[in-house]
Amino acid sequence: MFKGLSKTMISKLGYEIRPVRKEVNTSGYVLYSYLDQDGSFDYEKYRKIQEEGNKRKISQVWAIEENIAFLADYIKTRIESPKFGICHGTRRGKEQSWFSAALGCDVIGTEISDTAEDFPNTIQWDFHEAKPEWLDSVDFIYSNSFDHSYDPEKCLNVWMSCLKKNGLCIIEHSSLHEPQGANELDPFGAEIWVMPYLITMWGGGKFVVRQILTAPQKNDRVTHQQFIVIQNF
Ligand SMILES: C[S@@+](CC[C@H](N)C(=O)[O-])C[C@H]1O[C@@H](n2cnc3c(N)ncnc32)[C@H](O)[C@@H]1O
């Protein structure tokens, strides 16, 4: 509309030209807080929201069998005869059964909701904690539920403490795991490019991002889908 007019003429008309300000989110991640009235962490609120979400979506399966077969092949070539794996946040428990069949080893799933007892090889357990017998004794961990963590730094350190030396933790990440996808049910959202930085900072030299793999199959509604492979030293 102002093309061809000088700044003075524009100002006489009562307008002003200013550069457009772009809103840039420089942190690259968001973390939803569960607070009580005193502003302290409200664990019961977190647990209740997760359990309600689990029950609302109990008929759904996010993991894709072809992707799990692809990851099982990846694990086979990097870990000699894996014996024990854990999948975290598994709802209907499909991923542990697919891994177990492909690798011929024990794989269990954790699930915070009491629906865990309805699915094979699934225990009702909050993945922010480790059972003492898991420490240093798991060959691989897989999760597509890391975005459900209320404290991703604590969570990843707990998972990595369970792995044997050179064990692998595979975190599924997609466009729905990004900041715009975060909410009360999925409290952690991060851009894919910020994940290696966060993981390196959180690990404090104990583990490293070994590789980022592109998923052979994408879920509906996602624009990109990757597997972040983290290896224990
Ligand atoms: C996005 S769903 C994924 C379910 C399953 N992995 C799949 O592929 O269909 C996340 C699941 O993680 C569970 N979950 C959330 N927070 C958890 C926690 N702290 N510990 C264990 N499971 C949790 C939820 O109840 C839900 O069933």
Q: What DSSP character marks residue 188?
A: E
pLDDT reading at 182 higher than 50: yes
Residue nearest to atom 11 of ligand 1 (CA): 89
Q: Which residues line ligand 1 (CB under 6 A)?
A: 50, 54, 61-63, 88-91, 95, 110-113, 126-128, 144-145, 148
Widest pairwise Cα distance in the chain: 79
- Are 100 and 125 within 8 A, CB to CB? no
Residue 212, C-beta contacts closer than 8 angstroms, at least 6 positions apart: 192, 196, 226, 227, 228, 229
Rounded distance from Cα 169 to ligand 1 centre (Å): 16
What is the average pLDDT across 161-167?
A: 98
pLDDT reading at 143 higher than 60: yes
Give the pLDDT band (50/70/90) at residue 27.
confident
State how far the Cα of 31 lies from the Cα of 33, in Å rounded to an integer: 6
pLDDT of the residue at 4: 56
What is the average pLDDT across 136-163?
A: 98
Mutate to test the pocket of ligand 1, among 148, 154, 221 (most ligand atoms within 8 A of CB): 148
* pLDDT tens string 85-129: 999 999 999 999 999 999 999 999 999 999 999 999 999 999 999
Question: What would the two tokens of residue 117 be?
Answer: 């007892």
Atom of ligand 1 nearest to the CA of 145: 10
State how far the Cα of 29 lies from the Cα of 96, in Å rounded to an integer: 29
CATH number of 30-232: 3.90.1640.10, 3.40.50.620, 3.40.50.150, 3.40.1260.10?
3.40.50.150
Q: Where are the domains of the chain?
A: 30-232
Question: What would the two tokens of residue 88 be?
Answer: 């975290």
